[in-house]
Amino acid sequence: MRKNTPPSLQKKAVLLLVCRDKPGIVAHVSHFVFRQGGNIVDSDQHTDYETGIFFMRIEWELGPKSVSRGLLKKKVKELAARFGMRYELFFGDQALRMALFVSRFGHCLHDLLVRRDLGEIQAEIPLIISNHDDLKSVARHFDVPFHVIPVTPENRVKAEENQLKLLKKHRIDLVVLARYMQVLSPRFVKAYPNRIINIHHSFLPAFIGGKPYHQAYARGVKVIGATAHYVTEKLDEGPIIEQSVIRVSHRDRVEDLIRKGRDQEKVALANAVRMHLQHRILTYGNKTVVFE
């Protein structure tokens, strides 16, 4: 029942589930895992106060006594049907496949790739997509294929089609917009529901839209921040995963806000991506449950 398990999810299963709250769920689910021969190493749950919705994440070791994966999938399906659960089941040895979208600013790209090399972020990264070629050499240094797909008002639809084709070809599970400066179409967003993470360079819901650091400077705030969130059809209004903030003063010009903000962007985005890759995030409505 180790809560502080190694970051590696090797030989483990993770079950995320959402259903109406009901007495006995924790006991049932815990017992269920035990009966399948699993040793629970982490378990966390939450009930939303107003709506009565129950959320659970349970992680267990697949030991020698565990049932086969096929049987486990069948049993989980039955359990979910019984309680009316929406669920996802993951196996730890199947790392998620992540695509990075970038434009011209490379700090988040660099940061994520260094963290991948350090093992902080455990994912396959089969490709980087950009509308510019500025960051090509960064991709080469970290040995990740780099695809340039220019985007103009005229070719937007076609460009997205090409992007989606690449994502499909590489069986991408998670799209990370690491300071990608184009707005995605509703059609693109629908293809990856709660599977696109964006970093917005403000403390949402303050300063939605373009040039948030300039907006913050004009308003004269004393704290700025960055927000990592899932992308939905409404710009900058998707479920918030992580926020990071830092103090500023009248001495800080816009350039200083941009500099200080970069550090917040990197940390907020990296934390959000790590949480997603470890299957620690559940969404409901426009909010997230993050089981840290």
> Which CB sits closer to its own copies, 33 or 127?
33
Burial call 79-110: b when 16+ CB within 10 Å, e when fewer: bbeebebeeebbbbeebbbbbbbbbebbebbb
Q: Alpha helices, DSSP H only, in the chain?
A: 25-35, 69-83, 107-118, 136-141, 156-169, 186-191, 212-219, 254-277
d(CA 158, CA 135): 22
Question: Does residue number 223 form part of the binding site for its own copies (CB under 8 A)?
Answer: yes
d(CA 192, CA 169): 14
Element housing 154 (H / E): none
Q: Which amino acid is at 189?
A: V
Q: Considering CB under 8 A, how many residues would be counted as binding its own copies? A: 72
Select from 69, 77, 141, 158 the one that contacts its own copies (CB under 8 A). Answer: 141
Task: Compute the least distance from the CB of residue 92 to its own copies, in Å.
Answer: 16
Question: Does residue number 286 form part of the binding site for its own copies (CB under 8 A)?
Answer: yes
Task: Compute the least distance from the CB of residue 117 to its own copies, in Å.
Answer: 8
Question: Does residue number 81 form part of the binding site for its own copies (CB under 8 A)?
Answer: no
Question: Does residue number 171 form part of the binding site for its own copies (CB under 8 A)?
Answer: no
Q: State which of positions 224-243 bind its own copies (CB under 8 A).
A: 225, 239-243
Q: State which of positions 253-272 bind its own copies (CB under 8 A).
A: 253, 255-256, 259, 262-263, 267
> Which CB sits closer to its own copies, 159 or 179?
179
Token pair for 6:
């190694």
x-or-dash pattern for its own copies, window 182-221, by CB under 8 A? ---------------------xxxxx-----------xxx
Q: What are the backbone angles phi and psi of residue 37, rounded to the nearest 5°?
A: 80, 20
> Which CB sits closer to its own copies, 105 or 188?
105
Task: Compute the least distance from the CB of residue 99 to its own copies, in Å.
Answer: 22
> Which CB sits closer to its own copies, 150 or 205?
205
Active site residue 256: no
From the list 182, 167, 171, 185, the residue with the least C-alpha distance to 128 is: 167
* Set 42, 111, 173, 236: catalytic member: 236
Element housing 149 (H / E): none
Strands 174-177, 146-148: parallel, antiparallel or unpaired by DSSP?
A: unpaired
